[in-house]
Amino acid sequence: MNSKVLIFFGLLALAVADRRPYAFRRSRDFSDESFESSEARYNFNWAVSDEFGHQEQRDGDNTRGSYFVHLPDGRLQKVTYFVDGDSGYVADVSYEGEARFPDSYESFESRESRRYG
């Protein structure tokens, strides 16, 4: 008797789990024209403690921007980019400064403690 009840509830659980009540269904009045919107236009600029930052402006299909980051080796990396319609993402990457590497972990550790301490 117990095994029949257990099997019944197991089958019931499988039947309930098989339902997909949140499946996507396209509405009858859906048309591409109903989603027409104006061209995208925005402009933003932000930076965090002079360590990294990003600025970008967009007008329709034309997007231009740049970002920078101070790398752990001491250099400044700058990326300037644009997207003009279907041209795709075109970037120019440049570096300022010379890469510096510590001789040992101890010298790196002492330099970091002076920098933030």
**pLDDT tens per residue, the chain (117 residues)?**
677 777 877 776 766 666 555 565 655 555 555 455 568 899 999 988 888 999 999 998 899 999 999 998 999 999 999 998 777 899 999 999 999 887 766 555 555 555 554
Buried b (16+ CB within 10 A) or exposed e, 25-62: eeeeeeeeeeeeeeeeeeeeeeeeeeeeeeebebeeee
pLDDT (0 to 100) of residue 90: 92
Structural domain boundaries enclosing 55: 2-116
Structural domain tally of the chain? 1
